Amino acid sequence: MRQENELIRLEHVNVAYPTGTEALKDINLSVQKGEFIFVVGSSGSGKSTFIKTLLGEVQAASGKLLVAKHNLSKMRRKELPYYRRTLGVVFQEFRLLDDRNVFENVALAQRVVGVSNEKIRRNVLQMLEMVGLGDRRRAFPKELSGGEQQRVAIARAMVNRPSILLADEPTGNLDPNNSWEIMGLLEEMNQLGTTVIVVTHNNEIVDKLKKRVITLNKGEIINDEVQGGYIQ
Ligand code: ADP
């Protein structure tokens, strides 16, 4: 049954690569506004493909995909940049620009969508304060720890206030302390109303946080439940 607050809906979605690999098979999924979801599964189970499909980087061979009122199955290429503004993305390897300082890395996300300099300054400084890096705004990525770099990446992902934040193994390169801090930040973004989807291998974090967990295996959803809670 479709619900009013539904933000993402996938019906019978199949994704295959040109090599013939069926990376996602008959995916059915409904995500409500404001949810926090972990996506888990062994290597090769389709987690990254799932994220890439939501980003519109990979096209579904069949099925229906509705994300933030956009129909991905019918979307034209030129609509993609506009659609992507509804999404923030964080990657395992941070993907910051090494030749720009922290402020500029975050500001760039606003510049490309044409925000005025005055607003950029306000929004970026506010985001950097939020991730605890207000005083490091002039530092370059190489001068920061992994945890700090990931904080910058989160600020960059969130500065345009997307409705969905996708994180692909955001703690994969971090030690346990930094991993917990980054998860804490993602929870904070979630509490502010952002729907958060996190691909992770970190079982300890998944077990402790008691969120909805979607388990993929060989391209299929084999489990979808709230840890320690009710079955979806
Ligand atoms: P995970 O993120 O869970 O490790 P992936 O989504 O990366 O899984 O991969 C799912 C399946 O699709 C695997 O069998 C993988 O080898 C295959 N695959 C991933 N990317 C490509 C690609 N660009 N071309 C062909 N096959 C791919």
Instruction: State whether the beta carbon of 41 lies less than 6 angstroms from ligand 1.
Output: yes
Q: Is the pLDDT of residue 229 over 70?
A: no
Q: Is the pLDDT of residue 232 over 50?
A: no
What integer pLDDT is reported at residue 80 of this predicted model? 92
198 alpha carbon, distance to own chain's centre: 6
What contacts 24+ positions apart, CB below 8 Å, involve 99-103? 99/140, 100/140, 101/137, 101/138, 101/139, 101/140, 102/128, 102/133, 102/136, 102/137, 102/138, 102/139, 102/140, 102/141, 102/144, 102/152, 103/128, 103/137, 103/138
Average pLDDT over residues 125-151: 97
Q: Is the pLDDT of residue 230 over 90?
A: no
Average pLDDT over residues 42-51: 96
Average pLDDT over residues 31-48: 97
Q: Express each pLDDT in 170-209 by its tens digit.
A: 999 999 999 999 999 999 999 999 999 999 999 999 999 9
Lowest mean pLDDT among 41-50, 71-80, 102-111, 139-148: 71-80
Q: Is the pLDDT of residue 2 over 70?
A: no
Average pLDDT over residues 119-132: 97
Q: Express each pLDDT in 76-111 by its tens digit.
A: 889 999 999 999 999 999 999 999 999 999 999 999
Mutate to test the pocket of ligand 1, among 21, 53, 169, 221 (most ligand atoms within 8 A of CB): 21
Instruction: State whether the beta carbon of 47 lies less than 6 angstroms from ligand 1.
Output: yes
Average pLDDT over residues 124-149: 97
Average pLDDT over residues 142-159: 97
- Other Cβ atoms closer than 10 A to 80: 14
Q: Is the dihedral of CA 8, 11, 12, 14 positive or negative?
A: negative
Instruction: State whether the beta carbon of 19 lies less than 6 angstroms from ligand 1.
Output: yes
pTM, rounded to two decimals: 0.95
What is the atom index within ligand 1 of the atom nearest the CA of 52? 6
